[in-house]
A and B are shown apart, each in its own frame.
Chain A
């Protein structure tokens, strides 16, 4: 089924972490025009984007971390809540993304972070990239330049529009605060890791 101009797609990229935890990154995309591609073609393109983006992190991610699936749904804001309009599909992934690093991993509460800015004030995205490994942390808890460069390539890939028949999908935030979708225009990577606040004690270890 095609997408209409302005439709928002929620993409959940799921992995199984080295401690058995779920690692999920969610990215929202908006169609800039009516897209004639089928759901299967859209899923193929989304999975290819996720796969090539995460492949930049192959040598910074523990080999015990495995890609699980990519799920996508068409969503919209209704009464300031994000609701699913229809599912697009779920696919396995990890064709190019194949984590290879070995060594000690940090506790799952810390991760490399990417800040994604929009043109709307105080509307931004944060992506937590884990699991973080000791070999890629330098003195004073700073991320290594190699890891920062890989994160930059990862972020740049995610921000590239996903080209489809008739239009493209652009990454951004479906903001409840301003009640609309806004595109990412900037990424920022700092050498200080992010700390993840678990939503419920005991969940995610």
Chain B
């Protein structure tokens, strides 16, 4: 089943979306990023997805968003990457 960016953003409905970036360089890779501020702990996150197609990148982004929301990214690295 195909997903849309809106589906991904609905998973962080409690967050404030700061910016959305999508890049299509010539090598055929799609890069998607969502920079958001978590409404619960007030921390900033950058979830990213890379894929051969827009759909692949969206699914990767969805996984990244879930890792950020669950706290896995902060817990593992101690801090998030700067945007």
Q: Residues of B contacting A151 with CB < 8 Å? A: 20
Cross-chain contact of A187 among B12, B21, B54 (Cβ < 8 A) = B21
- The interface size of chain A toward B, counting residues with CB under 8 Å, comes to 22
Assess whether B21 is in contact with A191, with CB atoms less than 8 Å apart. Answer: no
Interface string of B1-36 (1 = CB under 8 A from A): 000111001001101111111111110000000000
When C-beta atoms are compared, the residue in chain B nearest to A114 turns out to be B20
Assess whether B24 is in contact with A191, with CB atoms less than 8 Å apart. Answer: no
Q: How far is the CA of A156 from the CA of B23 in the complex (A)?
A: 10
Assess whether A186 is in contact with B9, with CB atoms less than 8 Å apart. Answer: no
Assess whether B5 is in contact with A149, with CB atoms less than 8 Å apart. Answer: yes
Cross-chain contact of B16 among A155, A185, A191 (Cβ < 8 A) = A191
Q: Residues of A contacting B25 with CB < 8 Å? A: 119, 185
B66 → chain A closest CB, angstroms:
17
Assess whether A156 is in contact with B54, with CB atoms less than 8 Å apart. Answer: yes
Assess whether B6 is in contact with A146, with CB atoms less than 8 Å apart. Answer: yes
Q: Does A153 sit within 8 A of B, measured CB to CB?
A: yes
Assess whether A149 is in contact with B24, with CB atoms less than 8 Å apart. Answer: no
* Known A-B contacts A148-B9, A149-B9, A153-B4; A142 and B20 likewise in contact (beta carbons under 8 Å): no
Q: Residues of A contacting B6 with CB < 8 Å? A: 146, 149-150, 153
Q: How far is the CA of A138 from the CA of B16 in the complex (A)?
A: 10
Q: How far is the CA of A187 from the CA of B25 in the complex (A)?
A: 11
Q: Does A159 sit within 8 A of B, measured CB to CB?
A: yes
Assess whether B18 is in contact with A190, with CB atoms less than 8 Å apart. Answer: yes
Interface residues of B (CB under 8 A from A): 4-6, 9, 12-13, 15-26, 54
Which 4 pairs across A and B sit closest by C-beta, in order of nearness?
A186-B23, A149-B6, A145-B17, A190-B19
Interface residues of A (CB under 8 A from B): 117, 119, 138, 142, 145-146, 148-153, 155-156, 159, 185-191
